[in-house]
Amino acid sequence: MMNLRKLGEFGLIDLIKRMTGESSGVIKGIGDDCAVLPFDRKNYLLFTCDMLVEGIDFTRRDKSDLIGRKSLGVCLSDIAACGGLPRYAQVSLGLPASMSVSRARELYRGIIFQARKFKVAIVGGDISRSDKLIIDVSLVGLVKKRNLVLRSGAKKGDIIFVSGELGGSFYGKHLAFTPRIKEANYLVNNFKVNSMIDISDGLLQDLGHILKQSNQGAVIFEDLIPISENARKSEEALYMGEDFELLFTLPLAEARRLQKRSMRSLAKFSAVGEIVNESCGLVFLNRQGKKVKVKAGGFTPSFQQSSVGVEKERAGFRHF
């Protein structure tokens, strides 16, 4: 009898996708950072959720305040990836009865910190008892129709960018990242962004999602990748995941225009490669200009072992 470990997360997501099918009246359902739904003449509704589980997405030793920030932060990162602004959140908590009230208060303080920072109203939730701490946040936002960016819009010749720096997230940043709402809105309001995703599974795996949904290939140059000073190996910037930076593509002329601007209040944007023919697949060129075979899979398939080997027990979450 096959179990979920064997099927793997992507297998399960494919299964769910097949079972669910498509629904009329849905602009974009399963398969992007957010669901995209009708709202009014000028805007779409964005809808996303993320579940954090103790021992998987954080440990009991992590600061409650930071766990709270992360729980809303990962949803904010999804709204950013679609070019939208967040509005309303629901917070479901599974809490151990033995948890101290002060720890619960700290957790919620972290959630409220993020909510205020990004103008999100916490409008409800649910509480259940659970042996392990579970936080599931669902978030509704809005995006101007002309600003909506999906994973599926990358075009041949597009320049591939990332925001901020990659790698080393598991040594701390995965709990204390800044969701790139401001950066994403700057981009979609000023540039023609063809495709975008947030880096939760690792640069190469998330780029893989864009390529698959856009029917394109890509060339990535190792020496262009902005590596975080927290990274212990440069490989982490490719595979580690949970960077929660933006990965996006712009037509060449737009890319040139972006590179001329410098916005001090925003994370920097780095060009890391180019979209090419689908038949080329995903080509990774190392510092010596040599093609390196890209490992299959990113860092965070929850039901399987990670391919990198750093903190194997911390397998992340996965949207579908």
- Minimum CB distance to its own copies, residue 17 (Å): 10
- Minimum CB distance to its own copies, residue 294 (Å): 24
| Residue 303 sits in the site that holds its own copies (CB under 8 A) | yes
Among 16, 176, 252, 280, interactor with its own copies by CB under 8 A: 16
Q: Specify burial of residue 27 (Cβ count, 10 A radius: 0-12, 13-18, 19+).
A: middle
| Residue 296 sits in the site that holds its own copies (CB under 8 A) | no
Q: Determine contact, residues 84/46, Cβ cutoff 8 Å.
A: yes
Kind plus residue range of the DSSP H or E element containing 238? helix 236-239
In the region spanning residues 24 to 83, those forming contacts with its own copies, defined by CB under 8 A, are 25-26, 29-30, 34-35, 37, 39-40, 45, 47-53, 55-57
Given the structure tokens 């769910």, which residue do they identify?
A: 16
User: What one-character-per-residue DSSP string does 265-303 give?
Assistant: TS--EEEEEEEE-GGG-EEEE-TTS-EEPPPSS-S--TT
In the region spanning residues 134 to 173, those forming contacts with its own copies, defined by CB under 8 A, are 134, 136, 138, 140
Considering the complex, state which of residue 30 and residue 285 has its C-beta at the smaller distance from its own copies.
30
- Minimum CB distance to its own copies, residue 10 (Å): 10
> With CB under 8 A as the contact rule, which of the stretches 108-116, 183-191, 260-268, 272-280 interacts with its own copies?
108-116
In the region spanning residues 76 to 105, those forming contacts with its own copies, defined by CB under 8 A, are 87-88, 90, 92-102, 104-105
| Number of residues engaging its own copies in binding (CB under 8 A) | 79
* Beta carbons within 10 angstroms of residue 227's beta carbon: 18
| Residue 129 sits in the site that holds its own copies (CB under 8 A) | yes
Considering the complex, state which of residue 104 and residue 271 has its C-beta at the smaller distance from its own copies.
104
Considering the complex, state which of residue 25 and residue 289 has its C-beta at the smaller distance from its own copies.
25
Both ends of the chain: CA-CA distance in Å? 25
> With CB under 8 A as the contact rule, which of the stretches 15-23, 176-184, 233-241, 277-285 interacts with its own copies?
15-23
Considering the complex, state which of residue 86 and residue 273 has its C-beta at the smaller distance from its own copies.
86
- Whole-number Å distance between alpha carbons of 271 and 214: 19
112 closest CA partner among 80, 74, 65, 75:
65
How long is the chain?
320
Among 44, 58, 108, 170, interactor with its own copies by CB under 8 A: 108
Considering the complex, state which of residue 128 and residue 288 has its C-beta at the smaller distance from its own copies.
128
Residue 229 has which token pair? 């000073």
Among 130, 152, 230, 270, interactor with its own copies by CB under 8 A: 130
Radius of gyration of the chain (CA): 19
Strand intervals (E) in 130-216: 134-144, 159-163, 195-198
Q: Determine contact, residues 270/279, Cβ cutoff 8 Å.
A: no
| Residue 127 sits in the site that holds its own copies (CB under 8 A) | yes
According to DSSP, residue 307 is labeled: S
Considering the complex, state which of residue 5 and residue 232 has its C-beta at the smaller distance from its own copies.
5
- Minimum CB distance to its own copies, residue 123 (Å): 3
* Beta carbons within 10 angstroms of residue 306's beta carbon: 23
